A = this chain, B = another copy of it.
């Protein structure tokens, strides 16, 4: 069976969970705490980072961007499944650009300030930076999220999905990041009706259901988190 080593609220792991489900590839998940630096994780991925995909034949593919490229290359003709990067080189560049927007810029300006600060730090040992959230860092993250909702609104005013006519890895990456922040209840959806309509479309896909069932011990999701009519 295909295995995915992951952290439930890590957006880069969530993106790959969505990608595997959209490609209709069955997989088992194993929760990994990368800060434990468990021997098996370091053997599979010397960088010690998640996600890591282990194929049924033992082939190991490490890193979210590496996995997304690999999945489209190896499962080129998915049986009714999604192509993550459809179209020609310019379309594909646009889908990658927007996915990277979320995996680099949103990650740095929002996810780190909110998800890492409010959740990851609860589980980290003190000598690795664990502790209570820094309210100033959280405040900056809350401020930054609106800028990204604005950008999503700008894109979906012009396009059906973020990178063009089709659903692509760009939508999966963006939804993965927003969903982790939404678990905390920190996405002001009502102020951004177009972005909300886009998120409602992706949230109602079957691939999203397992993400909506995620639960962080001692930290329940915001009330509307799993609600399709939010």
Interface residues of A (CB under 8 A from B): 45-47, 49, 59, 61-63, 65-67, 69-70, 73-74, 89-90, 92-93, 96-97, 100-101, 104-105, 151
CB < 8 Å neighbour of A89 from B45, B74, B90, B97:
B74
Smallest distance from the beta carbon of A229 to chain B beta carbons, Å?
32
- Given A101-B47, A105-B49, decide whether A73 and B96 contact each other with a Cβ distance below 8 A: no
- Given A46-B151, A105-B47, decide whether A92 and B63 contact each other with a Cβ distance below 8 A: no
> Is B65 a contact partner of A65 (Cβ separation < 8 A)?
yes
> Is B90 a contact partner of A59 (Cβ separation < 8 A)?
yes
Count this chain's copies in the assembly: 2
> Is B61 a contact partner of A93 (Cβ separation < 8 A)?
yes
Question: In whole angstroms, how far apart are the Cα atoms of A228 and B121 in the complex?
Answer: 46
> Which B residues are in CB contact (< 8 Å) with A61?
93, 97
> Which B residues are in CB contact (< 8 Å) with A100?
47, 63, 65-66
Smallest distance from the beta carbon of A151 to chain B beta carbons, Å?
7
Query: In the complex, what residue of chain B is closest to A74 when comparing beta carbons?
Result: B89
Write 20 A-B pairs (CB below 8 A) sorted by A numbering: A45-B97, A46-B151, A47-B100, A47-B104, A49-B104, A49-B105, A59-B90, A61-B93, A62-B97, A63-B96, A63-B104, A65-B65, A66-B96, A66-B97, A66-B100, A69-B69, A69-B96, A70-B89, A70-B92, A70-B93
